[in-house]
Amino acid sequence: MKKLLSSVAMALAVAACSPQSTTTESSQTPAAATERASASAIKSGVDYHSQSNPDQMKVTHLDLDLTADFDAKRLIGSVTLTFDKLAADASELVLDTRDLDIQSVTANGKALAFTLDDPDPELGAALRIDVPDGVNKVTVAYQTSPQASGVQWLTPAQTAGKQHPFLFTQAQAVHARSFIPLQDSPQVRVTYTAKINTPAELLAVMSASNDPDTPRDGEYDFTMPQPIPSYLIALAIGDLQFKAMGERTGVYAEPALLDAAAEEFEDTESMLEVTEHTYGAYSWDRYDLLILPPSFPFGGMENPRLSFITPTVIAGDKSLVSLIAHELAHSWSGNTVTNATWRDLWLNEGFTTYLTYRIMEMVYGHDRFRKEAVLGYQDLTADIDALPDNDEILAIDLRGRNPDDVFSDIPYEKGALFLRELEQKVGRETFDKFLVNYFKHFAFKSITTDEFVAYLDSTLLADHADKLDKDRIHEWIFTPGIPAGAPVPTSDAFELIDQARSNFLSGEVLASSINTQSWTVHEWLYFLNNMPESLTDAQLVALDEAFNLTQSSNNEIAHSWLMIAVKNEYKPAYERLYSYLVSIGRNKLVKPLYQELSKTAEGKAFAKKAFEEAKPGYHPLTVKANEGFVE
């Protein structure tokens, strides 16, 4: 781990923003690379990932009318965009699109002239619409491509019930443009309505008002009355049923998973209550969960009113429900107060990760909180060891890069650690009040890191100048690594696990004699994640025989064990490894395995075979993130 003196770190941060700084990323687009080279410094608030022109004409509302054609794998229909003209001389509305087939653009029934630029590989193609004076509403008729980066079409065989197809969208970060032509920037907030047509036996749900009792007739209407950024627009269609978990909470899932999901996540209502109690009223009416098929590329996605959730966290013992706390917390940090650009993602994910720990502590107690905090911190230090300095900065420079390619624990765990330090310095009560005010002050706004810093300056810092200092805050946000003296989490419970591990490794204690009766998933993860890089065959066999790790039904434990198996070429686990890779599409679980396998020729051949079999069922994002490992 790096411990940088703050002056050195500052110099590095400045260098990171300078035109001379270079990057080793392969995802640079030539145009963006040129822009980076010629730019003197990154401009706060400029969205380098959208080609739209909200500073001139700003879209405020969408009316969607779409039909899901499962045979053609296309969404077909139209969107009507209402916008405000901000610049008096503006005559063009520029929208983001990717792989869309634009059929017509009209206003009041009359055709408008438009052009579609050549696509930029990362940003897509700008759609330029000539807007006559007095027009503030245009309708774009279009259809999506079967390969749309933000839509996955699943065949019946790829679902739990095997009878019906399934569709879901995933817009964050820059994929809404692959299923709606719009201003795809988190600083543009829109309200929306939608009419969605589906095969009659299927149910459509959206990040909007969902009526669990709606007649299942293939015609569904939605309203999202609060302004949300484009990355939170979401749609799913499938053989879905609803089960209530509490007054304001419920779960949508395929019938085969419904009861298990409702039981696993039954504490959602309590989570909602404690979060409201601590951070202010919930602004979004209902909070429901949608359980996706296992190909969902993320753990969860905070689509407003309806978080999208991977089924891989249904463990049977609520051990992985911090994911729900996380997606729920986004209702405050992210959906109510939103990052203005992807550089500011840490404002969403860091605040949310901090809130997640707090919610988990309130619902499940201090010991669990401490264990989860240690595991999160270890993920962070692993990333700090692996990432280039520039990618360890909270306010990261993403110019010329696709935000998907820079996904790491930095915005999450470093962001949370920073807030925990603030909390510890000013005291929990004061910090909670600060957060309540912050969420109120910026409600339904999209803000930059600089706006946050200015707010912090004029509130917490002004009131507690004796406890906080500007340089320290700057060091956290604008320099790489973890500042020396950060509040490193510890857990007494894990000290016992360290002992058990070293007794086993030294040969003093047999695996079968370790008393694991009281271990939860957290103990297991800590035990496994901190094993040395290489273990002997005898040790691997002893662990597997004593604890049946290869067959663990907990997907996180299985992941940690399979990582050990790959590093040590422990072949008895490879059959499970294969079925794990072909049955799960959650990138966080499969990518490290592909990456590790790709380090040897034999491993790569194995990975290639699994990848080829899995590919038709993987989400486009999971394909893109892993195909490089098997080439």
Angle between helices 428-441 and 415-426 (to 10 degrees): 120
Residue 184 in the binding site for ligand BES (CB under 6 A):
no
Question: What is the C-alpha to C-alpha distance for residues 20 and 33, in angstroms, rounded to an integer?
Answer: 12
Q: Which is nearer to ligand BES, 392 or 409 (CB)?
A: 409
Of 194, 177, 178, which is closest to residue 186 (Cα–Cα)? 177
Element (H, E) at 391: none
Collapsed DSSP state (helix, strand, coil) of residue 187: coil
Pairing relation of β-strands 110-111 and 101-107? Answer: antiparallel
Site string for ligand BES, 122-161 (x = CB under 6 A): ----------------------------------------
Partner whose footprint covers residue 323, from ligand BES, Zn ion, none (CB < 5 to 8 Å by kind): ligand BES
Partner whose footprint covers residue 574, from ligand BES, Zn ion, none (CB < 5 to 8 Å by kind): none
Among 54, 165, 181, 299, binds ligand BES (CB under 6 A): 299
Site string for Zn ion, 345-374 (x = CB under 5 A): ----x--x----------------------
Angle between helices 415-426 and 470-478 (to 10 degrees): 160
- Of residues 578 through 607, those in contact with ligand BES by CB under 6 A are 588
Q: Which is nearer to ligand BES, 253 or 473 (CB)?
A: 253
Among 114, 192, 298, 439, binds ligand BES (CB under 6 A): 298
Contact yes or no for 216/230 (Cβ under 8 A): no
Residue 323 in the binding site for ligand BES (CB under 6 A):
yes
Q: Is residue 276 flagged as an active site residue?
A: no
Tokens representing 462? Answer: 């002004």
Residue 301 in the binding site for ligand BES (CB under 6 A):
yes
Q: Considering 122, 254, 264, 327, which one is annotated as catalytic?
A: 327
Pairing relation of β-strands 445-447 and 337-339? Answer: parallel
- Of residues 78 through 117, those in contact with ligand BES by CB under 6 A are none
Question: What is the C-alpha to C-alpha distance for residues 575 and 355, in angstroms, rounded to an integer?
Answer: 39
Q: Is residue 412 flagged as an active site residue?
A: yes
Residue 413 in the binding site for ligand BES (CB under 6 A):
no
Phi, psi (rounded to 5 degrees) for 585: -115, 10
Question: What is the C-alpha to C-alpha distance for residues 447 and 162, in angstroms, rounded to an integer?
Answer: 44
Q: Which is nearer to ligand BES, 346 or 476 (CB)?
A: 346
Nearest approach in angstroms of CB 163 to ligand BES is 28
The size of the interface with Zn ion (CB under 5 A), counted in residues, is 2
Partner whose footprint covers residue 447, from Zn ion, ligand BES, none (CB < 5 to 8 Å by kind): none
Tokens representing 478? Answer: 């604008």
The size of the interface with ligand BES (CB under 6 A), counted in residues, is 14
Of 67, 94, 238, 219, which is closest to residue 155 (Cα–Cα)? 238
Question: What is the C-alpha to C-alpha distance for residues 473 and 456, in angstroms, rounded to an integer?
Answer: 9
Partner whose footprint covers residue 464, from Zn ion, ligand BES, none (CB < 5 to 8 Å by kind): none
Nearest approach in angstroms of CB 16 to ligand BES is 21
Contact yes or no for 394/350 (Cβ under 8 A): yes
Question: Which residues does the annotation mark as catalytic?
Answer: 327, 412
For ligand BES, the binding residues (CB under 6 A) are 172-173, 298-302, 323, 326-327, 330, 349, 412, 588
